[in-house]
Amino acid sequence: MKVPISWLKEYVAIDMSAAELADRLALTGTEVERVLHVGLPVDDGNLDRFVVGRVKKKGAHPNADKLTLCEVEVGDGKVEQIVCGAKNFKEGDRTAVCLPGGTLPDGRKLEAAVIRGVESRGMMCSESELGLSSESAGIMILPEDAPVGTRLVDYIPFSDEVLELEITPNRPDCLSVYGIAREVAAITGAALAPEPTQDVEPRGGDSIEELITITVDDGELCPRYGARLIAGVRVAPSPTWLKARIVAAGMRPVNNVVDITNYVMWTLGEPMHAFDLAKIAGPSLNARRAGKGEKITTIDGTERKLDQNMLVIADATKPTAIAGIMGGAGSEVSDETTDILLEAANFNGPNVMKTEMALGLRSESSTRFEKGLDAEVVPKALAMASRMMVELCSGRLVPGEYDIYAEPRSEQAIHLREEKVTSLLGIVVPGAEIEAILSRLDFESHREGDSLHVTVPSFRADVEREVDLIEEIVRVFGYELIPPTLPSDVRVMGGLSPYQSAERKIALALTAAGINEAITYTFIAPDFADRLRLADDDSRRQVVKLANPLSIDQSVIRTLMLPSLLMSVATNLSMRNPDVNIFELGRTYHTVAGEKLADERRTVAGCLCGSLRGESWMHAGRETDYFTGKGIVEAVFSSVKGSFSVERCDEPFLHPGKSAYVVIDGKRAGYMGEVHPLVLEAFDIDKPVVAFEILEDALIASSAGIVIFEDLLTFPASFQDIAVVVDEQTAAEEIIRVVREAGAPLLRGARVFDTYTGDQVGEGKKSIALGLEFRSPERTLTDEDVDGARAAILAALGERLGATLRG
Amino acid sequence: MSAMKKYKDLVEELRSYEGLASMFAEAAAGIDAAGDSEAIEAARVAHLGRKSKLSQLLRSIPELPNEEKPVVGKYGNKARAALEQALADRKKEIEGVQLEHRLATEQVDITLPGEPFPRGHLHIINQTLWEIEDIFAGLGYRIAEGPEVESDYYNFTALNTPEGHPARSSHDTFFVDGKEDVLLRTHTSPVQIRLMEKEEPPIYAIMPGRVYRRDSDATHTPMFHQIEGLAIDEHITMADLKGTLETFMRAIFGADRVIRLRPHFFPFTEPSVEMDVSCMICGGAGCRSCKNSGWLEILGAGMVDPNVFGFVDYDPDLVQGFAFGMGVERIAMLKHGMTDLRMFYDNDLRFIKQF
Ligand SMILES: [Zn+2]
């Protein structure tokens, strides 16, 4: 909302700079985007160089047919010789003169010059040169009563500061200059002038009811409809002052009729519409819902399809305006228009918004109506617009008016407890101060004991409850007066939950291992499932789809973390980042039959590509493989004291021989392994990638919990190494399991430290070397103890796995 | 000190037996002359070995005349002991020199980089989130989370933003296909509703998470992070909100920050405010970051609207409270100086590893 200061000052007597006013507005709830300057620059006396001049003599230029040579009175008896390119004036005309040294709104500076051999000391200005229109046929001709020699800005507001305000949706009353004036009066204490809504006398023996029939079919969508007729108007360009105002407010001057409706809208906040009476069939108007399949061509020349949820203003045959949004081209005012039907109405805000969204059409009018306007302003707007049309368009107000208002507004009153003001704000606002603030905001109040009975003005529909009044009080009273305190009575404990702490431990374990955290978009391209080679019946193809994505590449929500991370790997490789080791703590989203919302699974996932350690002058980096991934997964589990086992894995996006399911308590909770070469190809990755993805819930639940102390210090352990030869297919995990079972209770540790296949053990066999640790919490073990346990282990290995002790 | 010098007095004593002094002197000189481990060994063999003159002399004692026996025994053994000591000393001396020499030749270029141990970096968004979470944990707040695919009811309606409310149009919502009232949450506020539905006051909680809006340019990404706070209790006031925000801002942006509250509008709070913090870049004097105002807009806040309490069955005459919400990216950008929001989600390691 642009508010020119000169316009504002018509209604409120402020004596502060635009910058000071902007600060005050910002701190009381009206956001000021910026303060603009429009029109003539004000610096170094520039405004003194623009005056009202009078053409004393208009003659031919001696050296150029297209130019005129004039003598122009510029005040104080001074006459300047000016060469002019235009011819649309005569001697005696008054015009705007720029004297040498003057700077135009576009920054051009004018100096005295010799034009085709004749000196010219000044310029007679056109409207476009003064920034009042985009083009103009000649110089500007001012009214005959314009006082010669006065500064132009004192005659017409050509130089103004404009506040560009951002009005919150709860304050549509501030979408008007008068509304802002009222707000400014309340927050500064300055005097407020009455609303500029004085009416004009009707003339003539006819009446509006004889000339047009107006009805409202849908009173819910159109609570109030007011209309007047102005007959015999002369459609013409607006007077300069009005154009200047329209331009300063950021609109475009059109003609006097349209400019007046816009001017009234800007002043009072009530959008108006002017119909050409001659183009209304019937003539009759009805506010009704659009019929199925009805269409209208709006004044922007676009044909729009309407539906039954939309309110239209229809004449006898067709819709002639989309109510509150835009008029139809068919009844638009033109230069030939003589009789004008002036509409001021009140439309249902939410319905206007729905229609706007359905049509994708917003206007200055609809952005106001959508917020719900004050119906009481309808007659005021009609009065103001009628008077201006009579004064500026030579029109006649036809006697009578329509004002269809089925359910007039009832008075709103609120009970305000002073004690609630104190308890909500944490500061005592004195009663007299509360009353004074409310009164400045146009709320009437009277005291009833410790409370106030407050009557809400019609333009403040946003104030409905006690708490709304408290907001009004505190914003004018000043937030700076509220002391900063902390809640004094906290009886609960804060901090991270065990789950949240565990998540942090996981992240820290991964960074400690050298992996960087990524945060990827949760929405991806729908072809991710194909790129991951998911089977047609894979449940992970059941994605949450967006109805209105920004692009196809961000149109479905992932069911696996892998595609997001692979894309990040590809991006990094294309940026020539050599080693890409990334993880993400994120979610995957799964549709659930019969459920409205998705099943969101917290997941930790990672991709390892290149080397974890990076190359250095000391050693070459080691390329990542399955075991790097497994080591990382082990570190993750270790960070939360969890544990897992593995199962061979048949995920279509992984290497079948170098991948595993991560199994917790017999249930699959994720995977790890080398990514399938075809998947890498599909993601444009030309280096091996190891990936893992584990459900956090299961991972954290696998934690052993509180660690109970075990005495590892009092009695020393005994260590033994064994190497056994087994079938090549025998899994290391199985060997360890047999060893642990057979070695219990003295065996406390068994780990693989070497594996070997080859000639020494023969075809189809492998050797596995294990380090065994024996320990008792009660005594130092003897050689016999250890030998016995070792023998039992070897026996079990032989019996259950056919293992033989290697040489 | 050389053995010759050290054992000068002994040599005088040894003169009491013919030949012993010169034998000793010869041996001591040999030890002194030994320059490395091999020479030491050779000297030991030559002067103390089985075939050495001294050993031969000592072995010959039984054959000596009786009166000479004690003299030779005493001085001979003395000389032997002294030579063994001299040999050991000389050996140590040589080893010391050799060690010094080795150390002197083993000098490395101390300016070469160290062995690279891997260290990953947390994403700067997460680092910022953790920092904020820790500050509020210290103030007694818990961390609550909720779904990102959310119903219209929790995202809007229960937050006092019914259908047709003008505040809805500014949210640029992503809707879920095929389900009319399901969307991607546009803020973390629905978690407030879920928390209040589940629990009775007092509630002190913050709600971090991913949120989604249909917008994409240098200052908007379709996914970003918010963190909200909620305090509901019997006597929570606007003054408590102001103090809490000031404490938070000082914790995250430095002890000399000041804040100001400006009235604003949010459907779910009343009164509603926006909070500015004095610009940490120019100290309030005015700069590009603060558009010369000296203030940076950080977050929205307010006292929870009684209508919201109505949706969760709290009695606004018994409890009241405040809520606030902010963009995590904005906090990170102000703190670290990035200007393009999209960088957060490109996941370029050159960016991530900076922090
Ligand atoms: Zn600054």
- What is the pLDDT at residue A668? 97
B270–A474 C-beta distance less than 8 A: no
Q: What is the pLDDT of residues A437-488, one digit of tens each?
A: 999 999 999 998 889 999 999 999 999 999 999 999 999 999 999 999 999 8
Tell me the three state secondary structure of residue B207.
strand
The CA distance from A402 to the nearest CA of chain B, in Å, is: 29
Tally of CB atoms within 10 A around A332:
17
Q: How far is the CA of A21 from the centre of ligand 1 (A)?
A: 21
Cα–Cα distance, A133 to A338 (Å, whole number) = 25
Average pLDDT over residues A570-587: 95
Which CATH number is A43-157 given?
Answer: 2.40.50.140
The CA distance from A587 to the nearest CA of chain B, in Å, is: 9
Question: With b meaning 16 or more CB within 10 Å and e meaning fewer, what string describes A79-118?
Answer: bbebbbebeebeeebbbbbbbeebbbbeeeebeeeebeeb
Of the options 3.50.40.10, 3.10.180.10, 3.40.50.720, 1.10.150.80, the CATH number for the domain spanning A208-405: 3.50.40.10
The CA distance from B47 to the nearest CA of chain A, in Å, is: 49
Q: Supply φ then ψ for residue A683, to 5 degrees.
A: -105, 15
CA angle B186, B192, B197 (to 5 degrees): 125
Tell me the three state secondary structure of residue A387.
helix
Residue among A514, A517, A520 whose CB faces B118 most closely? A514
Q: What is the pLDDT of residues B294-318, one digit of tens each?
A: 999 999 999 999 999 999 999 999 9
- What is the pLDDT at residue B158? 95
**Average pLDDT for chain B:** 91
Residue pair A165/A7 in contact by the 8 Å Cβ criterion: no
Q: Confidence band (pLDDT; 50, 70, 90) for A108?
A: confident
B256: exposed, middle or buried (C-beta count within 10 Å: 0-12, 13-18, 19+)? Answer: exposed
Would you kindly state where each structural domain of chain B is located, as residue ranges? Answer: 3-105, 124-352
Q: Which of B280, B150, B335, B221 is nearest to A519 (CA)?
A: B221
Domains A415-481 and A718-805 agree in fold: no
Q: Which residues of B touch A168 (CB under 8 A)?
A: 264-265
Q: What is the pLDDT of residues A12-35, one digit of tens each?
A: 999 898 889 999 999 998 989 889
- Residue B170 confidence (pLDDT) above 70: no
> Interhelix angle for A240-248 vs A256-268, to 10°?
50
The CA distance from A51 to the nearest CA of chain B, in Å, is: 36
Predicted ipTM > 0.90: no
Q: Which residues of A touch B352 (CB under 8 A)?
A: 516-518, 582
- Residue A144 confidence (pLDDT) above 90: no
Cα–Cα distance, B285 to B293 (Å, whole number) = 8
* DSSP bridge partners of A805: A724
Q: Confidence band (pLDDT; 50, 70, 90) for B60?
A: confident
User: What are the CA-CA distances from residue A326 to residues A148, A329, A331, B216 (Å)?
Assistant: 43, 9, 11, 30
Q: How far is the CA of B256 from the centre of ligand 1 (A)?
A: 14
Quick one: how far is CA B173 from the chain centroid?
Answer: 40
B260–A486 C-beta distance less than 8 A: no
Tell me the three state secondary structure of residue A61.
strand
Out of A64-78, A270-284, A474-488, which region has the weakest mean confidence (pLDDT)?
A: A64-78
Residue pair A329/A336 in contact by the 8 Å Cβ criterion: no
- What is the pLDDT at residue A454? 97
Contacts of A799 (CB under 8 A, 6+ apart): none
Q: How far is the CA of B296 from the centre of ligand 1 (A)?
A: 8
A512–B119 C-beta distance less than 8 A: yes
The CA distance from B102 to the nearest CA of chain A, in Å, is: 22
AA identity, residue B11: V
Residue among A485, A489, A581 whose CB faces B239 most closely? A485
Q: Confidence band (pLDDT; 50, 70, 90) for A146?
A: confident
Average pLDDT over residues B41-61: 88
User: What are the CA-CA distances from residue A590 to residues A601, A602, A697, B148 (Å)?
Assistant: 8, 11, 15, 12
The CA distance from B104 to the nearest CA of chain A, in Å, is: 22
Per-residue tokens: A223? 């609570």
Q: Which of A188, A209, A160, A155 is nearest to A20 (CA)?
A: A188
Q: How far is the CA of B127 from the centre of ligand 1 (A)?
A: 24
Would you kindly state where each structural domain of chain A is located, as residue ranges? Answer: 2-40+160-188, 43-157, 208-405, 415-481, 498-701, 718-805
Q: What is the pLDDT of residues A521-530, one digit of tens each?
A: 999 999 999 9
Which CATH number is A2-40+160-188 given?
Answer: 3.30.56.10
A572–B149 C-beta distance less than 8 A: no
Which CATH number is A415-481 given?
Answer: 3.30.56.10
Per-residue tokens: B251? 């914790």
B216–A550 C-beta distance less than 8 A: yes
What CATH homologous superfamily does A498-701 map to?
Bira Bifunctional Protein; Domain 2 (3.30.930.10)
B115–A618 C-beta distance less than 8 A: yes
- Residue A435 confidence (pLDDT) above 70: yes
Q: Which residue in B has a C-alpha nearest to residue A33's C-alpha?
A: B291
B139–A494 C-beta distance less than 8 A: yes
Residue pair A463/A415 in contact by the 8 Å Cβ criterion: no
- What is the pLDDT at residue A348? 95
Which of the residues B160, B168, B232, B237 would you substitute to probe the A interface, choosing the one with the greatest number of A C-beta atoms within 10 Å? B237
Q: What is the pLDDT of residues A704-725, one digit of tens each?
A: 989 898 888 899 999 999 999 9
Question: With b meaning 16 or more CB within 10 Å and e meaning fewer, what string describes A164-179?
Answer: ebebbbbbbbbbbbbb
pTM to 2 decimal places: 0.84
Q: Which residues of A touch B301 (CB under 8 A)?
A: none
The CA distance from A572 to the nearest CA of chain B, in Å, is: 6
Tell me which residue has tokens 């052993």. Answer: A704
Q: How far is the CA of B212 from the centre of ligand 1 (A)?
A: 29
Q: Which residues of B touch A554 (CB under 8 A)?
A: 222
Which of the residues B168, B242, B274, B344 would you substitute to probe the A interface, choosing the one with the greatest number of A C-beta atoms within 10 Å? B242
Q: Confidence band (pLDDT; 50, 70, 90) for B183?
A: very high
A517–B263 C-beta distance less than 8 A: no
A511–B122 C-beta distance less than 8 A: yes
Look at strands A667-675 and A284-289 and give their pairing: unpaired
User: What are the CA-CA distances from residue A765 to residues A166, A730, A759, A791 (Å)?
Assistant: 79, 9, 9, 22
- What is the pLDDT at residue B224? 97
AA identity, residue B152: D
Residue pair A339/A277 in contact by the 8 Å Cβ criterion: yes
> Interhelix angle for A783-801 vs A732-743, to 10°?
140
H or E element, residue B53: helix B53-59
A507–B122 C-beta distance less than 8 A: yes
Q: Confidence band (pLDDT; 50, 70, 90) for B217?
A: confident
Q: How far is the CA of B254 from the centre of ligand 1 (A)?
A: 15
Written as one string, the DSSP assignment of B29-45 is HHHHH--SHHHHHHHHH
The number of helices, as runs of H, and strands, as runs of E, in chain A is: 21, 40
User: What are the CA-CA distances from residue A72 to residues A79, A632, A725 (Å)?
Assistant: 5, 90, 117
Which CATH number is A718-805 given?
Answer: 3.30.70.380
Residue pair A662/A693 in contact by the 8 Å Cβ criterion: no
- What is the pLDDT at residue A478? 93
Q: How far is the CA of B287 from the centre of ligand 1 (A)?
A: 4
Q: Which residue in B has a C-alpha nearest to residue A423's C-alpha?
A: B237
Per-residue tokens: A648? 């061979």
Q: What is the side-by-side strand order in the sheet with A444-448?
A: A412-417, A451-456, A444-448
Cα–Cα distance, A674 to A608 (Å, whole number) = 9
- What is the pLDDT at residue A414? 96
Q: Which of B14, B312, B17 is nearest to B191 (CA)?
A: B312
- What is the pLDDT at residue A307? 94
Q: How far is the CA of B278 from the centre of ligand 1 (A)?
A: 8
Contacts of A782 (CB under 8 A, 6+ apart): none
Quick one: how far is CA A14 from the chain centroid?
Answer: 34
Contacts of A482 (CB under 8 A, 6+ apart): A425, A426, A427, A474, B238, B239, B242, B261
Q: How far is the CA of B283 from the centre of ligand 1 (A)?
A: 6
Q: Which residues of B touch A464 (CB under 8 A)?
A: none
The CA distance from A149 to the nearest CA of chain B, in Å, is: 40
Q: Which CATH class is domain B124-352?
A: alpha beta
- Residue A128 confidence (pLDDT) above 90: no
Cα–Cα distance, A113 to A67 (Å, whole number) = 14
Question: With b meaning 16 or more CB within 10 Å and e meaning fewer, what string describes A707-731?
Answer: eeeeeeeeeebbebebbbbbeeebe
- Residue A543 confidence (pLDDT) above 80: yes
Which of the residues B129, B133, B149, B221 would you substitute to probe the A interface, choosing the one with the greatest number of A C-beta atoms within 10 Å? B149
Q: Confidence band (pLDDT; 50, 70, 90) for A155?
A: confident
Residue among B113, B121, B214 whose CB faces A550 most closely? B214
Q: Which residues of A touch B271 (CB under 8 A)?
A: 467, 470-471, 474-475
Q: Which residues of B touch A515 (CB under 8 A)?
A: 118, 120
Cα–Cα distance, A309 to A323 (Å, whole number) = 12
Average pLDDT over residues A309-319: 95
> In this prediction, what percent of chain A has a pLDDT beyond 70?
100
Residue among B240, B270, B306 whose CB faces A485 most closely? B240
Q: How far is the CA of B289 from the centre of ligand 1 (A)?
A: 5
The CA distance from A167 to the nearest CA of chain B, in Å, is: 9
Quote the strand ranges of chain B, DSSP E.
Answer: 142-143, 149-151, 182-184, 203-212, 223-233, 259-266, 269-278, 295-304, 320-327
Look at strands A599-609 and A580-590 and give their pairing: antiparallel
How many contacts, defined by CB atoms under 8 Å, are there between A and B?
265
Which of the residues A33, A506, A516, A572 would you substitute to probe the B interface, choosing the one with the greatest number of B C-beta atoms within 10 Å? A516
B242–A483 C-beta distance less than 8 A: yes
The CA distance from A206 to the nearest CA of chain B, in Å, is: 43
Cα–Cα distance, B96 to B86 (Å, whole number) = 15
Q: Which residues of B touch A355 (CB under 8 A)?
A: none
Q: What is the pLDDT of residues A291-300, one digit of tens each?
A: 999 999 999 9
For chain A, what is the radius of gyration of the CA atoms?
42
- Residue B165 confidence (pLDDT) above 80: no
